[in-house]
């Protein structure tokens, strides 16, 4: 016979419905954080009915017609996956990730090819790799790993930078300081002030965030000579570099050129340990598949150090997200593992980067033709998806309200949003606000 429950335990006096409905929430003290600007701006663009609206906010590659572009080689890889109908394609990956994908991703990031002269086996053995939830997940996992293992006093983040860098390191509870990355007067990388500040104020063990290529949001990169000096500074000061590699091959169309700084740090400074957060969103067009990797370079190619690093990364990954999704890594490993598909991928990269370079030239030419006040050479010298136009926050707001051209308040524009149909319209809109708005 089932035990009897006293009526008093379930009576209304113990569970007053009216009171429960009006009681204050435990979350009542939460404040509402500001919206993520690029995505909020994208939402405004989508709801705008104006026929000539231009989307220069979101960092996604667009075609000449303004639509998304699945890479030709990605569609081939997807068709191959469909034909093969691998019964295990929905199984879990290992916590570390796809063990066939990871060495291909590593060799791409560090430009390591077996046929290259001077390549030492130890270069690969020094690198510990784990698959992540795209580049954001790689940055997050790397920050948490370094915060727990190295316990840096400070992370130095470029000013300006990708907005998530601040949020990620705040979660890791590491003190954040910035270095003056951008020269707003010269519209280029501010090497002098960056090097001076890090030399004078950074302490041994501090982490320094670098964009490996196509700096987001400015498009201004260090020269090779400046990268050499930065590598020397990091070694001299015992700093820990952390590279964010989001645009390899997409920036210049040349994979090796876009990863030059990472390879230089690896092969010229064997005593230097550092991290690389690698994303395949832009260069494979895999925005929704969230495909990435974190690589940790150690000074040891044997013994327990790489094993301990991997074990600790696996532990963090297991608690953060379990393991990375596999559909994107399946596509990437098919392409990188095939000589024929890899060459086709190179062609797709050159197509994307070439169209953006052409739009830079077209925008520059039209601004010069209009005689728009100011200098605009930086549009040509900057590289990759983004450009810092130099427009003020007031001008960025005015161009949206007057002309329905959507850009961030910083004046950053996504060059892939330009095409032959809207570039002249955009240039005229820039000309208008530059002349009339402070």
Give Cα separations from 93 to 120, 296, 331, 363 (angstroms).
30, 20, 15, 45
Q: Would you give the end-to-end CA distance of the chain in angstroms?
A: 83
Q: CA-to-CA distance for 199 and 175, rounded, in angstroms?
A: 18
Cα–Cα distances in Å, from 347 out to 71, 283, 354, 419?
10, 11, 10, 20
- Side-chain half-sphere exposure of 237, counting CA atoms within 13 A: 22
CA–CA gap between residue 349 and residue 355 (Å, rounded): 10
8-state DSSP, 160? S
Closest CA to 312 of 118, 77, 150: 150
Whole-angstrom distance, CA of residue 219 vs CA of residue 378: 9
Q: How far apart are CA 226 and CA 195, in angstroms?
A: 9
Report, as residue numbers or ranges, the catalytic residues: 162, 244, 282
Are the CB atoms for 139 and 277 separated by under 8 Å? yes
Task: Determine contact, residues 415/60, Cβ cutoff 8 Å.
Answer: no
């Amino acid at each position: 016979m089932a035990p009897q429950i006293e009526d008093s335990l379930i009576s209304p006096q113990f569970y007053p419905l009216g009171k429960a409905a009006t009681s204050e929430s435990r979350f009542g003290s939460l404040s509402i954080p500001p919206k993520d600007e690029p995505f909020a701006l994208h939402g405004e663009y989508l709801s705008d009915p104006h026929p000539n609206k231009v989307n220069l906010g979101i960092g996604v590659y667009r075609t000449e017609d303004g639509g998304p572009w699945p890479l030709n080689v990605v569609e081939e890889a997807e068709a191959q996956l469909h034909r093969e109908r691998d019964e295990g394609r929905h199984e879990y990956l290992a916590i570390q990730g796809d063990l066939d994908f990871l060495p291909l991703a590593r060799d791409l990031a560090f430009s390591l090819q077996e046929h290259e002269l001077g390549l030492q086996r130890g270069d690969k053995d020094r690198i510990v790799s784990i698959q992540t939830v795209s580049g954001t997940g790689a940055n997050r996992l790397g920050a948490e790993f370094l915060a727990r293992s190295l316990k840096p006093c400070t992370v130095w983040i470029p000013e300006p930078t990708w907005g998530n860098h601040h949020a990620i390191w705040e979660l890791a509870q590491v003190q954040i300081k910035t270095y003056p990355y951008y020269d707003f007067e010269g519209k280029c990388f501010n090497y002098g002030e960056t090097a001076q500040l890090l030399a004078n104020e950074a302490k041994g063990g501090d982490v320094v965030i670098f964009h490996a290529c196509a700096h987001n949001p400015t498009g201004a990169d260090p020269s090779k000579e400046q990268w050499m000096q930065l590598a020397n500074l990091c070694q001299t000061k015992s700093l820990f570099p952390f590279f964010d590699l989001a645009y390899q091959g997409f920036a210049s169309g040349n994979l090796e050129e876009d990863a030059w700084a990472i390879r230089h740090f690896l092969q010229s400074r064997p005593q230097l340990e550092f991290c690389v957060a690698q994303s395949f969103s832009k260069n494979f067009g895999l925005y929704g598949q969230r495909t990435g990797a974190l690589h940790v370079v150690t000074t040891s190619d044997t013994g327990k150090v790489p094993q301990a690093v991997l074990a600790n990364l696996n532990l963090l990954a297991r608690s953060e997200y379990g393991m990375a999704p596999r559909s994107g890594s399946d596509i990437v490993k098919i392409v990188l593992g095939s000589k024929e598909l890899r060459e086709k991928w190179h062609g797709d990269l050159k197509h994307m980067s070439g169209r953006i370079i052409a739009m830079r030239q077209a925008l520059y030419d039209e601004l010069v033709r209009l005689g728009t006040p100011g200098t605009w050479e930086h549009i040509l010298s900057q590289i990759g998806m983004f450009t810092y136009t130099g427009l003020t926050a007031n001008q960025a707001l005015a161009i949206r309200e007057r002309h329905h051209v959507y850009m961030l308040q910083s004046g950053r524009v996504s060059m892939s949003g330009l095409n032959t149909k809207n570039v002249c319209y955009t240039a005229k809109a820039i000309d208008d606000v530059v002349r009339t708005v402070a």
